[in-house]
C-alpha cells in the first residue's frame, strides 16, 4: 500500500479536506495491524479493511483514536437517547449530568453486569466501543477494562470483533465475499442497523483510498502535502519561531537588563513601568515557548489541495 496516496484520498473524503496528526496516527496503527495480519494470511479482502476504517470513523467521531463513553447528558438528551428508560424529562433529571449513576442505570443488570458499579466499570470504550462485562471478558480484559481505551488493545478488539464475529456473532466475511458485497448489512457485525447507510458511505470513501493506494507510484492527482497533518507542532513551525525571535530575541537581553537596573527584584522593576511591561512580555514569551516545546500548542497550516 502506498500510504501517501491512501492518506491523500482519505483526506478528501471522508475527512473533508483536513487531517490532524492524531487521525493519521490512528489510521497508520490500523494499517500496521492489517499488514501484520495479511502477512500471516489471516485476512484477504480489502473490503474488510475499508469497513473497519469506516466503523472507526463513525464510532470515534472522526478522531480515529479510542474513546471512552462519558455519558454526560442533559435530561432532555436522555429522553432522546433512551426514550424507553426516560420517557419524560422529569424521569431523566436524577440521572442528568451524573455519568456514573446513569451508566449503572442503563447498563446495570445487562451484558453480565451484576455488580452495583459494573455499568460504569464496563461502559463503552475503544474504537468500536465495547460495553458490558461479558464483552470485556471475551477479549480477556474484564480485570483491566481501561485497556480497551488503549490503542494496541483497541485495535485487537476491532479486528477480532469484526473478523472473528466476537461482537454480535456476525463477521465481515458474511457480507463481503465472492458473492456478496453488502456494506449496509455489514453494520450487523457491530450494532444491528444503526446508521448502517451512513457508515456504508464512509466505506466507499475508504475503499476508494485503498484501491488507489495499490498503485506503487504516486498518482498525478496526489500531492505529498496532502498526506501530511494540518496541525503542525508549534515547536516545528518555522514561521512562529521567526515571529517569536523577532519580538523577544533581539530585545530579550535589553529587557532583562532594564528590569535588573530597576532593582534587585521584580518589585524594584515596578518603579519603572516600561521595564515592568517589558519584563511581563518577556515572561509571557517564556511561557509561550514552554507551551510550544511541550507540544501543547499546534499551528494549523493552510488546507492541502
Query: What are the pLDDT digits (tens) for 62-79?
Result: 999 999 999 999 999 999
The residue-averaged pLDDT of 272-290 equals 65
Phi, psi of 126 (to 5 degrees): 120, -160
Grid cell, residue 226, equals 496532502
Share of the chain above pLDDT 90, in %: 69
pLDDT class for 222, splitting at 50, 70, 90? confident
pLDDT at position 257 = 47
Per the DSSP assignment, residues forming a β-bridge with 298 are 233
**More confident call, 236 vs 112:** 112
Q: 151: closest CA among 30, 57, 257?
A: 30
What three-state secondary structure class fits 60? coil
C-alpha cell at 272: 519603572
All residues at 6 or more sequence positions from 277 whose CB lies less than 8 Å from its CB, including other chains: none
Whether 263 shows a pLDDT value over 60: the answer reads no
User: The whole model's pTM is what?
Assistant: 0.78
* Per-range mean pLDDT, top range of 18-27, 223-232, 244-253: 18-27
Alpha helices in the chain (DSSP H): 3-12, 21-39, 46-59, 75-81, 89-92, 99-107, 118-121, 133-138, 151-163, 196-213, 238-244, 250-261, 266-269, 273-293
Would you list the domain boundaries of the chain? 3-67+148-227, 75-123, 231-300
pLDDT tens readout for residues 84-99: 999 999 999 999 999 9
Of 36-40, 90-94, 291-295, where does the model show the most confidence?
90-94
pLDDT band at 221 (very low <50, low <70, confident <90, very high): confident
Residue bearing the bigger pLDDT, 142 or 218: 142
Mean pLDDT score of the chain = 86
Query: In the structure, what pLDDT confidence band is assigned to residue 243 with cuts at 50, 70 and 90?
Result: very low
Given a cut of 50, whether residue 236 has pLDDT beyond it is yes
- Mean pLDDT over 183-188 rounds to 98
Amino acid at each position: 500500500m502506498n500510504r501517501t496516496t491512501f492518506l491523500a484520498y482519505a483526506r478528501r473524503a471522508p475527512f473533508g479536506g483536513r487531517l490532524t496528526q492524531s487521525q493519521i496516527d490512528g489510521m497508520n496503527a490500523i494499517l500496521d495491524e492489517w499488514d501484520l495480519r495479511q502477512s500471516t494470511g489471516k485476512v484477504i479482502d480489502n473490503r474488510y479493511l475499508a469497513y473497519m476504517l469506516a466503523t472507526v470513523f463513525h464510532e470515534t467521531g472522526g478522531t480515529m483514536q479510542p474513546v471512552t463513553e462519558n455519558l454526560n447528558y442533559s435530561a432532555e438528551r436522555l429522553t432522546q437517547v433512551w426514550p424507553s428508560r426516560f420517557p419524560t424529562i422529569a424521569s431523566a433529571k436524577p440521572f442528568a449530568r451524573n455519568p456514573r449513576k446513569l451508566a449503572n442505570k442503563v447498563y446495570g443488570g445487562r451484558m453480565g453486569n451484576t455488580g452495583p458499579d459494573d455499568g460504569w466499570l464496563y461502559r463503552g470504550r475503544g474504537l468500536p466501543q465495547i460495553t458490558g462485562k461479558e464483552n470485556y471478558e471475551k477479549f480477556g480484559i474484564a480485570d483491566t477494562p481501561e485497556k480497551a481505551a488503549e490503542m494496541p488493545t483497541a485495535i485487537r478488539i476491532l479486528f477480532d470483533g469484526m473478523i472473528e464475529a466476537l461482537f454480535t456473532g456476525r463477521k465481515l466475511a458474511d457480507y463481503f465475499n465472492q458473492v456478496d458485497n453488502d456494506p449496509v448489512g455489514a453494520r450487523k457485525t457491530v450494532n444491528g442497523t444503526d446508521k448502517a447507510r451512513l457508515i456504508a458511505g464512509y466505506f466507499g470513501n475508504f475503499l476508494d483510498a485503498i484501491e488507489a493506494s495499490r498503485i506503487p507510484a504516486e498518482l498525478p492527482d496526489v500531492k505529498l502535502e496532502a498526506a501530511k497533518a494540518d496541525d503542525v507542532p508549534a515547536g516545528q513551525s518555522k514561521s512562529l519561531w521567526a515571529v517569536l525571535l523577532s519580538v523577544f530575541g533581539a530585545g530579550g537581553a535589553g529587557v532583562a537588563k532594564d528590569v535588573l537596573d530597576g532593582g534587585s527584584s521584580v518589585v524594584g522593576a515596578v518603579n519603572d513601568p516600561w521595564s515592568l511591561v517589558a519584563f511581563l512580555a518577556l515572561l509571557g514569551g517564556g511561557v509561550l515557548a514552554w507551551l510550544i516545546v511541550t507540544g501543547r500548542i499546534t499551528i494549523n497550516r493552510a488546507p492541502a489541495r
